[in-house]
Amino acid sequence: MSENHIIRLEHLSKTYTTQAGSVQALQDINLEIRQGEIFGVIGLSGAGKSTLVRCINFLERPTGGKVWVDGQDMSALSTAELNQIRQSVAMIFQQFNLLMQRTSLENICFPLEIAKVPKAEAKKRALELLELVGLSDKANSYPAQLSGGQKQRVAIARALSTNPKVLLCDEATSALDPASTRSILALLKDINQKLGITIVIITHEMSVIENICQRVAVIDQSRIAECGDVREIFAHPKSNIAKTLVFPNQRQTQAMVGTLCCRIVFDGQSSYEPVIANMILNFKRPVNIIFADSKNIDGKAFGQIVLQLPEEPGVAEKMQQYLQAQGLTVEVFQADANLEVNANVR
């Protein structure tokens, strides 16, 4: 394993046997996750992403292939050795999994009790972690007295109690409202920067990936469809599933005269000139703005616009060349007659 990779998956596969037959949840997965990065795994429901994260810490034993964590082959470890390494590969879940009869402080102490850490030392560590996650005043509160975001903060503190090198987050924000989601993502980013912990985010929400991750793997039908820098995949999605996740998530039904469209990406380095307006004036042809939005990807502003182009021969191609000459990323594609630009979007 390369020194800067803490997780490596080699030809990983997982097959479940059911009464109805075999179900292949993962097929030939190859991934490398770097030490200290925030790495995302995104896919639609049933794509295999949750199985993937559970194979990393061997809560699910793969059917084939290898999982390497911090230089160790997980398949070669005994049960005792697996339990030991799991202390350095912590996990948080969508539903928090807190012990309802324990206070926040006691929940955080629980993994330390299992590790036989002295009570005084465990309590000191738990109080430090409560401060880290911004819940110093909730030490004696029970889960029923906490909001969803506060529960997830306690779960994060509990996961950090054993000083892990990796934090696995399985749909950790899916049960939260938008404000709490932003708060938890900001906390995870802060933890990554302060403690240098590698964070793996499993999600079906592209906004989560764009907000916090440096690199992402897109999983589709049990395979990795695409993997790379988040900004590159946003600007140049290659696979159909990546385009589905990046493109607007509201189906357009507006009737159109033509079907030729283009997607323009603004990457924060683009000119502030009104390029669309200037293009219309230059070619004396109207265009139809189908969709526009902006995003913050790893602290940098990105935007995208989907336009319907004129159907006149040569005009659309010249418009594309004009936009590219302005330093913009431009992708031309065909939509159907009802402008269902994103008919495959979830």
Q: Please report the domains of the chain, with CATH numbers, ordered by start residue.
A: 5-244 (3.40.50.300), 248-334 (3.30.70.260)
Q: Is the pLDDT of residue 336 over 80?
A: no
Q: What is the identity of the amino acid at 192?
A: N
Residues 195-212 have a mean pLDDT of 90
pLDDT band at residue 286, thresholds of 50, 70 and 90? Answer: confident
Instruction: State the chain's mean pLDDT as an integer.
Output: 84
Instruction: Inform me whether the pLDDT recorded for 88 exceeds 50.
Output: yes
* pTM, entire model: 0.78
pLDDT digits (tens, 9 = 90+) for 18-49: 888 888 899 999 999 999 999 999 988 888 88
Mean pLDDT value of segment 175-196: 91
pLDDT for residue 344: 34
For 156-162, what is the mean pLDDT? 93
